[in-house]
């Protein structure tokens, strides 16, 4: 990874060659899946940490955005969906992802992204596939903390649709069972449309 990160700045030809090879393979896989009748394609990356992206958004737009566009176009031309996963704070490129065809974004990580702002700006064009904080509330909060976070999300993120909710990532071994049960029961009670959130 480190040589490639250097290549992004010092060796454009090598960067392009590596990414084009990976893109060709991704396009081949996507085409096969779409030919088999899949409803869309899923791309799973991790472009951010809790505070920022791993690379400058300008570099992402130069090298990665056009390649994602080509990949996503394979699905969009067939009327299929594009699901994109990236942990971390990827706020600077959410608009780019919407522009090039992402239909559903996961996890819109609550520890590092402003979910309400993402919903406000892109909620009419993007499904937020998000969830409760897996770094704070779910492992370290009380059942009441879990319930309140779920209700807040339902109240502010669910109106208008385009909303999927659960855990923002896998629930790990340090999560109390009572918190998982509270998450499930709160969504069962209040998570259906038409919304009736207290």
Helix/strand/coil (H/E/C) assignment for every residue in the chain: CHHHHHHHHHCHHHHHHHHHHHHHHHHHHHHHHHHCCCCEEEEEECCECCCCECCCHHHHHHHHHHHHHHHHHHHHCCCCEEEEEECCCCHHHHHHHHHCCCCEEECCCCCCCCHHHHHHHHCCCCEEEEEECCCCHHHHCCHHHHHHHHHHHHHHHCCCCCEEEEECCCCCCCCCHHHHHHHHHHHHHHCCCCCCCC
Confidence at residue 100, expressed as pLDDT on a 0 to 100 scale: 98
- For residue 88, pLDDT over 90 is answered with yes
Nearest to 128 by CA among 146, 147, 141, 110: 110
Q: How many CB atoms lie within 10 A of CB 97?
A: 22
Q: Looking up tokens 């207290």, which residue turns up?
A: 198
pLDDT digits (tens, 9 = 90+) for 127-155: 999 999 999 999 999 999 999 999 999 99
Res. 53 pLDDT band, cuts 50 70 90: very high
Q: Give the chain's mean pLDDT.
A: 96
- For residue 198, pLDDT over 90 is answered with no
Q: In the chain, where are the structural domains located?
A: 1-106, 130-198
Pairing label, strands 104-106, 40-45: unpaired
CA 52 to mean position of chain CA atoms: 15
Confidence at residue 5, expressed as pLDDT on a 0 to 100 scale: 92
Res. 172 pLDDT band, cuts 50 70 90: confident
- For residue 77, pLDDT over 90 is answered with yes
Average of per-residue pLDDT across 108-116: 94
């Amino acid at each position: 990874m480190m040589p490639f990160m250097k290549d992004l700045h010092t060796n454009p030809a090598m960067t392009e060659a590596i990414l084009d090879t990976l893109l060709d393979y991704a396009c081949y896989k996507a085409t096969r899946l779409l030919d088999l009748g899949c409803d869309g394609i899923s791309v799973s990356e991790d472009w951010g940490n809790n505070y920022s992206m791993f690379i400058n958004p300008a570099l992402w737009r130069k090298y990665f955005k056009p390649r994602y566009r080509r990949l996503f176009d394979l699905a969009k031309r067939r009327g299929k969906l594009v699901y994109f996963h990236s942990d971390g704070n990827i706020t600077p490129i959410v608009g780019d992802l919407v522009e090039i065809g992402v239909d559903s974004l996961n996890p819109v990580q609550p520890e590092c992204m402003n979910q309400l702002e993402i919903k406000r700006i892109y909620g009419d064009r993007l499904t937020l596939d998000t969830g409760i904080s897996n770094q704070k509330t779910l492992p370290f909060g009380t059942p009441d903390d879990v319930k309140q976070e779920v209700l807040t999300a339902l109240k502010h993120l669910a109106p208008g649709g385009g909303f999927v909710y659960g855990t923002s990532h896998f629930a790990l071994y340090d999560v109390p069972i009572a918190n998982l049960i509270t998450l499930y029961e709160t969504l069962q009670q209040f998570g259906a449309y038409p919304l009736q959130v207290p």
